[in-house]
Amino acid sequence: MKININDQNSYGQINPNLHGQFIEFLGNCIDEGIWVGKDSKIPNIDGMRKGTVDALKKLAPPVVRWPGGCYADTYHWRDGIGPQKDRPISFNENFGTYQRDRHSFGTDEFMEFCELIGAQPWFNINMLSASVQEMKDWMEYCNRSEKTSLSNQRKDNGHAEPYAVKYWGIGNEVWGGGGSMTPEMYADKYREYASAMPTFQKSIFDQNPIYKIASGPDGNKPIERVKWTKDFLKAFSRYRQPGINAMDLHFYNWNIEHESDTPTDFGEDDWYRVINGTRELDQIINQQADLIKEGLQNIPQPESSLDHRLDRIDLVVGEWGNWHRTAFTAKPALKQQVTMRDAISTALMLDILQKNSDKVTMACVAQTINVLNALILTEGDQTILTPNYDVFMMYKAHRGNSALKIQTNQDQKNVYTFASKKDGEIILDVINANLNDQVKLTVELNREIESISKDFLQSDRPTDFNSSDNPDLIRMQQTEVKDFSKGEITLELSPASVNVFHIKTID
């Protein structure tokens, strides 16, 4: 296989927010995964599991979405503030969680968590079982700098300065558990919530710092996702539009039709079925970007220059990742192991997001800890980093870079590439998704090469995973690449491997 990379042939910038995370009160994601309590024997920082905090601090995820997901639709933020002993106890039925919720990890704890790991927060409001006023009050509690009853309450709870939360999701999966709404129903309800949102501007001439995210379509429904976006934007085009900054598409790489295929026990056909399932995300992103563009073009010009005409809506992917059949019956809820199959799928989907950096501005893997496509699993006092964690660490180098177009002179089945550049360095991802075959790759560059290093992830068996007994069975490794000439590299790629090359060039 041969590819050609010209570092002048760049297009979109890779928004670091494409490497976002998602945590929800689901199973042991937050309780046990993050929150263990201040009196726990498990090492913690103000009640938060130190192993989790340390791992995510190193990863430095740009954004974290919370409190859901489906949980957001029943979450009342006041339950999670104030002294721990005074917080109510409710019952969480979210996706089979079926456990009591003491609301120990609320707004202030989440914000401390974001500060500890260096992430921006993305709050999802309760549109289903709360009210416009409850949303307004939550935003006031988080962001108001002037002295009001709510900002004073935040101060009494330990944080005098406003949190300045930028990202606010208005509803979650409203086509399903978020209300089983039609696009027209949601458009009407969205208008109310978006219009009532405080701006926290100091004058009418200041830019609104709030980024409003609408619930987008179900990416796993090929017919519905097209009709949903069309109908929503058509309804939105009637009369005046409130602000909307982005639409939140959700897509899961479903692996739920084959009972014999489990996260850690699968055959060759199962391997390729799941790997190939990632490709749909690329089609969906391009499809939705075109639908949004078309919908915006159909919005009429306002009669007055004082009226706003909606002319841009970003596309974000608020939930994505592998979802295996056994997760439905797992205890804790939706917990599944992570093998090299998942790591390769995760790398492929990250590359799809980065490849479409001119169309997608933010994305959050579902979920960070103990749920579905996790980066971290916990067992008692152990914090186990899955192969997905290593993939995200390997891909950190792409954040903020310019995406590069790659010319493929000779195609190779099941080999996928992506490249970006920044400050005289090209970052090249090469995923060999062949289960058994080694691949030889020739890379031609338009510049001379100074040095090459390689980060790679692989294992002896595709069903290998990290566990409490062997937490480092699959770990990223690093090496130097010596086999290159002035502008050409010959690379040997192991089967079932994720490879990231750091190529320093000479101007």
Active site amino acids: 173, 319
Conformation bin of residue 327: beta by default, left when phi > 0, alpha when psi is -120 to 50: alpha
Query: CB–CB of 360/317 below 8 Å?
Result: yes
| Crossing angle between the packed helical segments 340-355 and 268-277, to the nearest 10 degrees | 20
Tell me the pairing of strands 167-170 and 211-218: parallel
What is the C-alpha to C-alpha distance for residues 86 and 91, in angstroms, rounded to an integer? 16
> Cα(126)–Cα(429) distance, rounded to whole angstroms?
39
Closest CA to 319 of 48, 36, 72: 72
Cβ(351)–Cβ(416) below 8 Å: yes
List of residues 6+ apart from 186 with CB closer than 8 A = 171, 174, 175, 179, 214, 215, 232
DSSP 362-385: EEEEE-SBSSSS-SEEEETTEEEE
The residue type found at 347 is A
Token representation of residue 398: 């792409």
Torsion (CA) 144, 149, 154, 157 in degrees, nearest 10 = 170
Distance, in Å, from the CA atom of 109 to the CA atom of 104, rounded to the nearest integer, reads 8
Residue 49, CB half-sphere, CA atoms under 13 Å: how many? Answer: 23
What residues have CB less than 8 Å from 255, skipping those under 6 apart?
261, 270, 273, 274, 277, 322, 323, 324, 325
CB 48 within 8 A of CB 35: yes
Residue pair 363/317 in contact by the 8 Å Cβ criterion: yes
- Full DSSP string of 306-319: TS------EEEEEE
Can you name the residues that pair with 402 across neighbouring β-strands? 13, 421
Identify whether the C-beta of residue 48 lies closer than 8 Å to the C-beta of residue 109: yes
Encoding tokens for residue 237?
Answer: 């085009």
First-to-last C-alpha distance (Å) of the chain: 26
Q: Which of 62, 55, 18 is nearest to 34 (CA)?
A: 55
Count of alpha carbons within 13 angstroms of residue 185, beta-carbon side: 11
**Both tokens of residue 481?**
């690449």
Give me the amino acid identity at 406.
Answer: I
Retrieve residue 480's tokens: 């130097």
Tracing tokens 């897509």 back to the chain, one arrives at 251
